[in-house]
Amino acid sequence: MTRKDEMLTVAQVLNELGVSARTFYRWREIGKAPEGFKLPNGEIRIYRSEFIAWLETLREVA
C-alpha cells in the first residue's frame, strides 16, 4: 500500500471487474477475492494497489 493509496468500494470493484455482488461475495467466502478490510460501519474497502496486485496474480495464472 502506498501512502496515498485510493480505497475502493465494493461497488467500484464490481464495476471494474464486471461481476455481480453475489459473485464477489462468493469469491470472498472461498478466499479468491482481493484483500479488503471492514470499516466500523461494516462496509468493505479495498486498496487500489492490492486490487491491482490481485489482478496481476490472475494474469500470471492465465
Residues 6-52 have pLDDT tens digits of 999 999 999 999 999 999 999 999 999 999 999 999 999 999 999 99
Contact 13, 50 (CB under 8 A): no
Site of grid cell 485510493: 6
Q: What's residue 1's pLDDT?
A: 56
Type of residue at 31: G
Radius of gyration of the chain (CA): 12
Contact 34, 46 (CB under 8 A): yes
